[in-house]
Amino acid sequence: MKKNPFYLKEIPVDAPFCDREKELADLISYAKSNINVVLFSPRRYGKTSLTKRVQNSLKSDGTLTAYCDLFGVTSVEEIAGRIARSIYAVTHKNQGMFQKAIGFITSFRPVLSPSPEGGISVSVQTAFKTDGLKILEDTMEFLEKFIIDVALPVHVAFDEFQEIAEVHNSIGIEGILRQYIQKIQCSFFFIGSRRRILLDIFNDRKRPFFQSSLNYELKPLPHKDMVLFITSEFKRAGKYINEEDASEICQLVSNHPYYMQKFCFFLYEEIDKKVTRKDIAEIKAVVVESERVVFESILQGLRTKQINILSALAKEPTAKVYSASYMARHNLRSTGGIQQGLNTLSKKDLIEKDYRTGVWFVVDPIFVRWLIEMSL
């Protein structure tokens, strides 16, 4: 029996990838021209996997590529440590380069240990006691010197970059990072899905990163490419789905890359040889159910008024949220409450306003289905 060709977990960098050819070419070309890029989209559109492919291609052309995940950072020391770790992680297999990194980045020592997957995992220890912003400043200065010394093209990806905005003294942190990023001769990518927070860092004229980078939005996958991807992956792995059914899946998940993989993963597991309509209906329920815990915990963090707006927008996206008829249809009482709710929900990236049509809608397509089912 062949292996399921779809992924529930992180997609490996050499697995088949749907489309994104233009994005890949654009991003590689920006990186090679030392342009800094803000790469943003709603959750799970493929920013991280695309960035890893960009870095893979750059690496094969001789670029030193560092990947720094800032998810969950809570302090400036931790940010500095993650930066140092990303350099040790990319250099540790090359003795000469690793020694160089250790020689320059003296604020943190590398700690190498066997990882559960059989490789080596890299962590860091602070080498000397420095307080707050100074350790970040030192680390960035060491990074700058290291990059000058290695004399190679360098690319640094900061994933979940918006997290720095939630750390104490974030403006101070942004100031230091900006100062060095401007000086260092390489390309930086700033990646994130909390778009309001991320874009505010770059688009607010009072913030250090104002207009320092090129904004690049990742859209959902094109419908045609996704249909072709689904049919050909089923075929490659010895099973069959027709174009019409593949197209229906794309519609059900609104061309969302992660949900497409999840849907097809379950579907491939479920069927014997050939997909039927009944299978699709069944798997639709399975996919929605598989996200239930996540959705419930989102609702737990919201007030009743906000949930009412969310549920109204799931059932009926609208540009006229304040109209008397919309408010009456969805039991929304005060315009002040709606305004506040829209603001909170969009800050959390749960809803969004289409800038061309003015229509408010719920961002996650499976969340929409779940909210509708819940309120029946």
Ligand X SMILES: Nc1ncnc2c1ncn2[C@@H]1O[C@H](COP(=O)(O)OP(=O)(O)OP(=O)(O)O)[C@@H](O)[C@H]1O
- Which spans of this chain sit near Mg ion (rule: CB under 5 A)? 48
61-120 positions binding ligand X, by CB under 6 A: none
- Dihedral angle of Cα 366, 371, 374, 376, to the nearest 10 degrees: -110
Q: Would you say 48 or 261 has its CB closer to Mg ion?
A: 48
Distant-in-sequence contacts of 274-278, Cβ < 8 A, 24+ apart: 274/239, 274/240, 274/241, 275/234, 275/239, 275/240, 275/241, 275/242, 275/245, 277/245
> Under the criterion CB under 6 A, does residue 314 sit at the interface with ligand X?
no
Q: Per-residue x/- marks for ligand X, 249-278, CB under 6 A?
A: --------xx--x-----------------
The structure tokens listed for 63 are 């670029």
Q: Would you say 41 or 139 has its CB closer to Mg ion?
A: 41
Q: Which range touches ligand X (CB under 6 A), out of 9-17, 142-150, 179-187, 308-316? A: 9-17
Report the nearest approach of ligand X to the CB of residue 41 (Å): 6
Q: Would you say 126 or 232 has its CB closer to ligand X?
A: 232
> Under the criterion CB under 6 A, does residue 49 sit at the interface with ligand X?
yes
Q: Would you say 48 or 162 has its CB closer to Mg ion?
A: 48
Nearest Cα neighbor of 23 from 232, 164, 229, 225 is 225
188-227 positions binding ligand X, by CB under 6 A: 193, 221
Report the nearest approach of ligand X to the CB of residue 90 (Å): 19
Q: Per-residue x/- marks for ligand X, 17-46, CB under 6 A?
A: xxxx--------------------x-xxxx
Q: Would you say 48 or 91 has its CB closer to Mg ion?
A: 48
Nearest Cα neighbor of 262 from 26, 3, 23, 4 is 4
How many Cβ atoms are within 10 Å of 63's Cβ, its own excluded?
Answer: 19
Report the nearest approach of ligand X to the CB of residue 51 (Å): 8
Binding site for ligand X (CB under 6 A): 7, 10-11, 17-20, 41, 43-49, 193, 221, 257-258, 261
